[in-house]
Amino acid sequence: MLRLLTKIVVWILAISVGMTLVYRFVPVPITLTMIADENGFTRDWTPLSRIDRNMVSAAIAAEDGKFCTHNGFDTEAIENAMERNAKGQRLRGGSTISQQSAKNVFLWQGSGWDRWARKGLEVWFTFLIETLWDKRRIMEVYLNVAETGIGTYGAEAGAQRYFNKSAASLTRAEAARMAAALPSPRTRSVNNPHGFTRRYGNTIAARIGVVRRDGLDACIYE
């Protein structure tokens, strides 16, 4: 039994490392989230060179201000999220873009007990992509597999859906509106944002300037 378990673990490690190495160079063809989407899915893999910098800056401003400096995990953000959620305030996660990329590419969304099982694997895959990919690749993959609307995945598909244009020509305001909806793209409106989503989009648009000024995206554009 011990020998069998050892073989299983070795195979799991080998497959996970192999897949991570392949996806360092090859576009991610499909994810479990896309397969499970009852609405089907629309996506169009687009190199980061053809995604406007506004979208990159907006993602960092909205999701992960320390993207260029952390090793995949932002302990301060996780602690703050736990404290905020414990106080019953607006629920907010502490996952980095690296963690979200690991989950979106290799794992499933999940809820309940299987969510905790996924979290353990998420740590492993986050470590792998931070080790085997550079930050530019992580961002490129993230902006191609993140859900940007009902049955819509990636920045390019989102830009086409909401603005009838390529992700290469997104304005600051458009990128901010898409980023504001990223945590919950099925319930937050991009075309006609209101309330919290509208205010958050305006905040992200303003933060884009801070991202540029402080070089928070330097690991991608240096």
The whole-number pLDDT of residue 178 equals 95
Sheet of 147-149, strand order: 42-43, 152-153, 147-149
pLDDT at residue number 87? 61
pLDDT at 205: 96
Residues of the chain with pLDDT under 50: none
Report which of 206, 140, 216 is spatially closest to residue 175, judged by C-alpha positions. Answer: 206
The pLDDT score that the predictor gives to residue 117 is 75
Q: What is the pLDDT of residue 194?
A: 86
* Assigned architecture for domain 27-221: Orthogonal Bundle (1.10)
Helices 172-181/155-163 angle, 10° precision: 110
pLDDT of residue 112: 64
Place of tokens 């191609």: 144
Joined together, the tokens standing for residue 33 give 């989230």
Q: List phi, psi (to 5°) of 57.
A: -65, -40
Nearest to 104 by CA among 219, 177, 185: 185
In 10 A of CB 177, how many CB atoms?
A: 28
The pLDDT assigned to 81 comes to 64
Q: How high is the pLDDT of residue 108?
A: 86
**Residue 151's pLDDT is what?**
93
Q: Which of 65, 22, 26 is nearest to 144 (CA)?
A: 26
Burial class (CB in 10 A: 0-12, 13-18, 19+), 136: middle
